[in-house]
Structure 1
Amino acid sequence: MAFLTIFTPAYNRAHTLPRTYESLLAQDCKDFVWLVIDDGSQDNTAELIHGWQAQENGFEIQYIYKENGGMHTAHNTAYEHITTELNTCIDSDDKLAPGAVSKIKTAWESVRNKGYAGLIALDADFAGNIIGKGFPADLRETTLGGYYASGGAGDKKLIYRTDVINSVPPYPVFDGEKYVGLVYKYTLIDQQYKLSVLDEVVCEVEYQADGSTGTMWRQYLNNPRGFAFLRKTAMQYPTSTKRLILDCIHYCSSSQISKNKEYIKESPRKLLTVLCTPAGWVLTAYIKKKANV
């Protein structure tokens, strides 16, 4: 039985999915399942996946279609169906690095009985450059929030135990919105577990102009309740005073955008929220300017 599920949320990515698939075919260890969550694609994603399922790949390919709901809802669907011990997300425009599955398997076998939530590894761009910063040479374990609080930077590849990722609540869904930051689950897990550090590149990434990273200013306006929820969670588990204040300002701004008049009452940091409200209005004006509204 496979030890790892590699899941890929996909929305109209038939033009990039083949390179993801080719990177899986090239793995020297095929002890994994590839689960594609089609988030309401209108291109030929389904045709592509069904064609690959009919081939001899050396690994199982699973395909689930759902109505479009955003990245976080695709993750919810994935977690409902994963049965392997570990799982990791490889986006539909990314590639699994050569030998990544072998590296994950070897690293996990050496720490699987030590109570970790999983592994944290490196992402690189297609030219091999580490995204953000690497890991300090002596870092053996960390929480995700602890890594960034201590000066870390850039997206990292997270490989979680499936029982752990499912031990915290699913991402909430807000009517009319399609974004809740994935870090919500990771923040809750940080309160109970650490991650073992795998100082290897396991994913090669390319950020698309129409992806969530490239459209963030518009996302703030289109998904204010989702962002307010995320900031409220972060305010309950601050990693620094500076981060707490920034999250509170964003919470005020998102609440103002959503026209939530109860946001001070609902805040876990009521006094700070009162103090940050003027800065929230300034941030709201800046977001609207950046989004050309």
Structure 2
Amino acid sequence: MNKDSIITVFTCTYNRANTIGRTYESLCRQTSKNFKWLVVDDGSTDNTRDLVEGWRKIENGFEIQYAYKENGGLHTGYNKAIELMDTELCVCIDSDDWMPDDAVEKILSVWKDRGSDKYAGIIGLDCSEKGLPIGGLFPEDLKTAHIVHLPKWHQGDVKMVHRTELLKKVAPMEVFPGEKFFNPIYLFIKVDMMLPMLIVNDVFCIVDYQDANNSMSKNIVYQYYQSPNSFKELRRLHMGNPIESYKYRLRHAVHYVSSCIMTKDERWLKKSPMPLATLLVAPLGYMLYLHIKRVVSHKNNSYK
């Protein structure tokens, strides 16, 4: 077991005992064992704890840490993981995904060759089970980029490796009572406002999208309704981000207005990073609010 690991692979999981074994097995196959695996259990009611505790008793060449917490949503899992991590780098691998055998080795090699305090981390590729990079490859001449600019060159999911110290500076994410859909991209964007990321065409993760009701990527409109305060904070962050385009920030202003209506926030205009533009797009924000209500009402009625 390597006590001086450079990177933490962290997995925030909830009732994925049926898939997390693939994640574990991929870590056992890593050509470099210079990492820790941190599992943050977000209140699972299946046998996730028993599985992980059993793996901890086996000598696999890497340290396994396990933390159990009350169910609160993915962002609270990130908060706990960032609190506990003590390595230079970190990367999240979901409990239904896994890493190619040489992923850790490639990450450490890239960071050794090109990494410095000028960069927030590394962006690599997500790959499908069929071996196809999701969204294709990055342009060969693209060496660094900010996360918010990636859509210019790449349309698809990516895998981000961050310097842990930077995430610790911007964490924790706020926890709003009853809201479980605060996207951890919030933390990444905060870091992105500080420094760019290194770009590589190496595959760091193989993804298996689960058709689950608690998935962050499923029923996004319903999530807007279920976690309006969380989305409001995310929109405010985008609106105040000077490295994003004005058009992109304006789009978030529309969403911001709809979230403010849902939260009955009377100080919505005063708290906006771009008040004049927010006032101008307010009618569109109200229309979006009505659309969200209509979608949610239809969804609720379909279950009756």
Q: What's the TM-score once normalised by structure 2's chain length?
A: 0.92
8 Å CA contact 2:253, 2:278 repeated in 1:
yes
Give runs of aligned pairs for residues 68-147 of structure 1, distance below 5 A.
Answer: 68-113=71-116, 115-147=118-150
- Partners of 1:108 and 1:201 lie apart in 2 by 15
8 Å CA contact 1:207, 1:213 repeated in 2:
no
AA aligned opposite 1:230: L
8 Å CA contact 1:119, 1:159 repeated in 2:
yes
- Partners of 2:276 and 2:137 lie apart in 1 by 37
The more displaced of 76-85 and 208-217 is 208-217
Aligned residue for 2:274? Answer: 269
**Deviation, structure 1 residue 134:** 2.3
Aligned residue for 2:294? Answer: 289
- Partners of 1:215 and 1:240 lie apart in 2 by 27
**Deviation, structure 1 residue 114:** 5.5
Q: Alignment partner for residue 54 of structure 1, among 54, 57, 60?
A: 57
Aligned residue for 1:237? Answer: 241
**Deviation, structure 1 residue 94:** 0.5
The more displaced of 1-10 and 111-120 is 111-120
8 Å CA contact 1:208, 1:214 repeated in 2:
no
- Partners of 2:22 and 2:236 lie apart in 1 by 38
The more displaced of 104-113 and 181-190 is 181-190
AA aligned opposite 1:69: G
- Partners of 2:216 and 2:293 lie apart in 1 by 17
Aligned residue for 1:225? Answer: 229
Which stretches in structure 1 are left out of the alignment for 5+ residues? none
- Partners of 1:257 and 1:113 lie apart in 2 by 43
The more displaced of 82-91 and 127-136 is 127-136
8 Å CA contact 2:30, 2:103 repeated in 1:
yes
- Partners of 1:76 and 1:59 lie apart in 2 by 23
- Partners of 2:101 and 2:292 lie apart in 1 by 40
Q: Alignment partner for residue 159 of structure 2, among 157, 160, 163?
A: 157
Residue by residue, what CA displacement relative to the aligned partner does 1:199-240 show, whole Å, maximum 9, x if unpaired? 111101112122110132221111000000100010001511
State percent identity of aligned pairs: 41
Matched, 1:258 2:260: no
Aligned residue for 2:26? Answer: 23
**Deviation, structure 1 residue 115:** 2.2
- Partners of 1:272 and 1:122 lie apart in 2 by 36
Matched, 1:41 2:40: no
AA aligned opposite 2:246: T
AA aligned opposite 1:156: V
- Partners of 1:97 and 1:289 lie apart in 2 by 43
8 Å CA contact 1:209, 1:215 repeated in 2:
no
8 Å CA contact 2:123, 2:197 repeated in 1:
yes
- Partners of 2:40 and 2:96 lie apart in 1 by 14
Aligned residues: CA RMSD: 1.4
Q: What's the TM-score once normalised by structure 1's chain length?
A: 0.95
SS in 2 for 1:7: strand
- Partners of 1:80 and 1:236 lie apart in 2 by 26
**Deviation, structure 1 residue 113:** 3.3
Which stretches in structure 2 are left out of the alignment for 5+ residues? none
SS in 1 for 2:286: helix
